[in-house]
Amino acid sequence: MTTVPDVPILISPSVLNADLANLTDEIGRITHADYVHLDVMDNHFVPNMTFGLPVVERILATTDVPADVHLMIDHPDEWAPAYAEAGAASVTFHAEASNAPVRLARELRAKGARASIALRPATGVEGYLDLLDEFDMVLVMTVEPGFGGQSLITGTLPKIRRTREAITALGRDIWVQVDGGISRDTIATAAAAGANMFVAGSAVYSADDPNAEIGALRETATAAYRSA
Ligand SMILES: O=C(CO)[C@H](O)[C@H](O)COP(=O)(O)O
Ligand SMILES: [Co+2]
């Protein structure tokens, strides 16, 4: 982890585009990561399906890298607490899917996880600014959730900026995560807008040396965040 004034710069590789039949080995290739990002999809909230709690539990049991679970599922109020109970360091649920985001965040925190709320590209942050204190992180989706390997939607950058401004005004240590289309070409823009935690799937797993790629991403983001 690198820290710029008050803010840790964190790289969380997504295993979505890794070899899902060899997850232990694939996670073993990202030992320089701060977190491992686990995309849970249910084929209802998004038009794709990955893995669920039993697989996440096995990953948690076989890796020392803290897990950053991204739930792209309906009914997170019902399902998310089990991921915290299983030992995920951070649990992110979608604002669009939750009926009671504050209650759920409190439950996740009570179970020892960082509580995080995700916003699809079309979901504004304004409705959540008064609730920021209830969360440890806001995930600003930089692609439509569902698939890896997409291009970052630049129209999401103002939302990253607005979220960071509100957090700074509050004076709290709340992280801003970006997810989707993050690579050496785009990470500086997202960091300069105020993101401090970066999910990168295809950029890390298509690299010959995933750990070297993580280092390069972290270095670029740190420089961009500092100079913003
Ligand atoms: O949540 C996600 C997709 O919904 C993934 O985390 C994300 O897309 C990572 O993949 P890439 O870095 O290849 O865009
Ligand atoms: Co994700």
Tokens 């983001």 found at: 221
The count of C-alpha atoms lying within 13 angstroms of the C-alpha of 138, restricted to the half-sphere facing its C-beta, is 32
Tell me the pLDDT tens digit for each residue of 96-150.
999 999 999 999 999 999 999 999 999 999 999 999 999 999 999 999 999 999 9
At residue 180, the pLDDT reads 98
The count of C-alpha atoms lying within 13 angstroms of the C-alpha of 108, restricted to the half-sphere facing its C-beta, is 31
Which ligand number lies closest to the CA of residue 143?
1
The Cα 81–Cα 91 span in angstroms is 8
215, 177, 182: which is closest to 197 by C-alpha?
A: 177
Over its C-alpha atoms, the chain yields an Rg (Å, rounded) of 16
The gap from C-alpha 134 to its chain's centroid, in whole angstroms, comes to 17
What percentage of the chain reaches a pLDDT higher than 70? 99
Q: Sign of the CA dihedral 37, 43, 48, 49?
A: positive
39 assigned to active site: yes
At residue 31, the pLDDT reads 97
Mean pLDDT confidence for 186-211: 98
Of 42, 68, 136, 179, the catalytic one is: 179
Listed by start position, the domains of the chain span 2-227
**Those residues with Cβ within 8 angstroms of residue 55's Cβ, 6 or more apart along the chain or in another chain:** 23
52 assigned ligand-binding residue: no
The answer, yes or no, to whether ipTM is higher than 0.85 is yes
Which ligand number lies closest to the CA of residue 144?
1
34 assigned to active site: no
Measuring CA to CA, how many Å separate 78 from each of 81, 82, 101? Answer: 7, 9, 11
Q: CATH second-level architecture of 2-227?
A: Alpha-Beta Barrel (3.20)
Give the ligand 1 atom nearest the CA of 46.
4
Residues whose beta carbon lies within 6 Å of some atom of ligand 1: 14, 16-17, 37, 39, 70, 72, 143, 145-150, 179-182, 199-203
What percentage of the chain reaches a pLDDT higher than 90? 96
Tell me the pLDDT tens digit for each residue of 76-92.
999 999 999 999 999 99
Higher pLDDT, 5 or 169: 169
**Those residues with Cβ within 8 angstroms of residue 41's Cβ, 6 or more apart along the chain or in another chain:** 48, 49, 50, 72, 73, 145, 146
135 assigned ligand-binding residue: no
Q: How confident is the model at residue 228 (pLDDT cuts 50, 70, 90)?
A: confident
The Cα 218–Cα 58 span in angstroms is 28
pLDDT above 80 for 3: no
Probe ligand 1: pick from 41, 69, 179, 213, max atoms within 8 Å of CB? 179
Query: What is the residue-averaged pLDDT of the chain?
Result: 97
User: Biggest alpha carbon distance in the chain?
Assistant: 45
At residue 192, the pLDDT reads 97
At residue 174, the pLDDT reads 97
> What is 111-158 written as a DSSP string?
TTPEEEEEE-TTS-SGGGGGGGGG-SEEEEESS-TT-SSPPP-GGGHH
**Contact status, residue 225 vs residue 5, Cβ threshold 8 Å:** no
At residue 1, the pLDDT reads 73
At residue 5, the pLDDT reads 65
For atom 4 of ligand 1, the residue with the nearest CA is: 145
Tell me the pLDDT tens digit for each residue of 49-84.
999 999 999 999 999 999 999 999 999 999 999 999
Q: How confident is the model at residue 6 (pLDDT cuts 50, 70, 90)?
A: confident
Give the ligand 1 atom nearest the CA of 201.
12
